[in-house]
Amino acid sequence: MTTSAVRCRVAPSPSGFLHIGTAKTALYNWLFARSNGGTFILRLEDTDAERTEEQYVQAMCEGFKWLGIEWDEGPEFGDEPEKGAFGPYRQSQRLQLYSEEAARLVAEGKAYRCYCTKEELDAQREQAALEKRPPRYSGKCRNLTPEEIAAKGDTPYAIRFRVPEGETVIDDIIQGPVRIQNKEYDDFIIVKSNGDAIFHLAVVVDDGLMKITHVIRGDDHLTNAGRHVMLFNALGYPLPKFAHHPLIHDEQGRKYSKRLHGANVLDWRKDGYLPETMINYISLLGWTSEEEGREFYTLDELKQLFTLKRLTKSPARFDRKKLDWLNGQHIRMLSPDALCDRVLPILREQGFPVDERSRDWLVEMAAICQEKIPTLNHIIPYTDFFFAAPTAYDEKGDRKFFRQDTSLQALEAALECMRQADEWTVTALKESYEAAAEQKELKIGALVNGTRLALTGKTVGPGLYELVKLLGREESVQRMEAALNYIKTSGEGTA
């Protein structure tokens, strides 16, 4: 097989949001396709009418789009048409194909009609429970003669796969060879009595007709793989290579529940994480590069380095601290212009009048926060003071920087530096502050921290000289005067 022939897919059921585990499966398939010059396919398993809603389809596709996982073949989404030569790419539009392939299996004697009623099957299960053995189909309809079938007339029937004798081997890239004795399976249903194809048949028909070469999915599907290999062989399709990767566990070591915040990939977008971060982090939840200890990767690097052989068997535990660290690193990698574009929608949503400012000013504002913020959402507390003067001061900061013996002296010295600055630049302000501290025998921290509290109401934020420069002389002086007045009128500051 040449690398250009690689075709892999993700086939989620759109019955909810894009789960982080589904995103991981999609990412591994996508990276594998990209690293081999292959094709990545998005296919929607939407035959469960009770659970599938179009809003979930949209939410799932939106999650892929946000992550930047673009499919080469797939269904219509928004204003993007269906693309690819092996469609349709929604199972609900492929029902006729399943019926035809099921009929072919019956005609070839590899499947058969089962007329057993629900009551009969329930009775078999109850009997198995009483005898403390696994429930298995009795095989009642396995060898019906043509005459017996004809006598059934229009009686509803399901279609069961005739499990062959012998052994089924799943040669898994991650798990290694998995051997299953076929006698462990009973003849399983592939088409229900209402005509709907069961998952096992539908997924194999889709993979076979779409010429999928690699099935990369969660190891919770390993129990299905035996049935799927048997169906591939029975249908005469080329057998794809399998790679069952471990599931994601939460920070307590349990399977990442859909109820947890962050299970929905778009939760991270709402929380201010970059898609580049999520791609980087999710890739590490089961994959390692040959460069030991390395954790930061760009998308282009992942495309070049990703291989299935570096996937691990062990489940990965979600680590929020590592995710936060990675997000900070990816924020630092952005250009100030790009960071500005990412944070402006967040600031607009908060009602800040960003469109009244020049683009250069906004880019500079983003730039002075770039080394500080761990998420895009942190831009709010790091910049809100640019748009409105503080109406209160941090309580601990007030005691520490406004209520000491030298507080008034330090603030007055800082104010004088602002009034007398020949140039309103970071360098000039820094030199002026350092000279004032030396001349008045004050600690530079007293000037810097007192000024920050006076201008922002906070004790943390962007670099002081950078924010003072951006705030402007007139506004900075006014806020310093207001802070001095506050200290004096509250009666606790001393000179």
Q: Which residues are catalytic?
A: 258
Relative to beta strand 158-161, strand 111-114 is antiparallel
Give residue 337's identity as a one-letter amino acid code: D
* CA–CA separation, 214 and 306 (whole Å): 15
- Alpha carbons 14 and 46: distance in angstroms, whole number: 6
| Tokens describing residue 12 | 């989620």
Asked whether the beta carbons of 490 and 393 are under 8 A apart, the reply is no
Secondary structure class of 216 (helix, strand, coil): strand
The single-letter code of the amino acid at 204 is: V
DSSP H or E run through 8: strand 7-10
Residue whose C-alpha is closest to residue 43's, from 210, 240, 197, 226? 210
C-alpha span between 162 and 231 (Å, rounded): 10
| Distance between CA atoms of residues 258 and 235, nearest Å | 35
Distance, in Å, from the CA atom of 457 to the CA atom of 420, rounded to the nearest integer, reads: 24
CB contact at 8 A, 163 and 187: yes
**Rounded to whole angstroms, what are the CA distances from 222 to 177, 191, 225, 242, 246?**
11, 21, 5, 9, 10
Closest-CA residue to 243 (of 339, 328, 193, 313): 313
Q: Is 293 left (phi over 0), alpha (psi -120 to 50) or beta?
A: left
* List of E strands, 12-126: 39-42, 111-114
- Rg of the Cα trace of the chain? 32
Closest CA to 468 of 386, 413, 372: 386
Answer whether the bond into residue 14 is a cis peptide, omega within 30°: no
Query: What is the 8-class DSSP label of residue 90?
Result: B
Residues near 247 by beta carbon (within 8 Å), at least 6 away in sequence: 21, 218, 219, 220, 255, 256, 315
Helix (H, G, I), strand (E, B), or coil: what is residue 206? helix
For 241, other C-beta atoms within 10 Å of its C-beta total 16
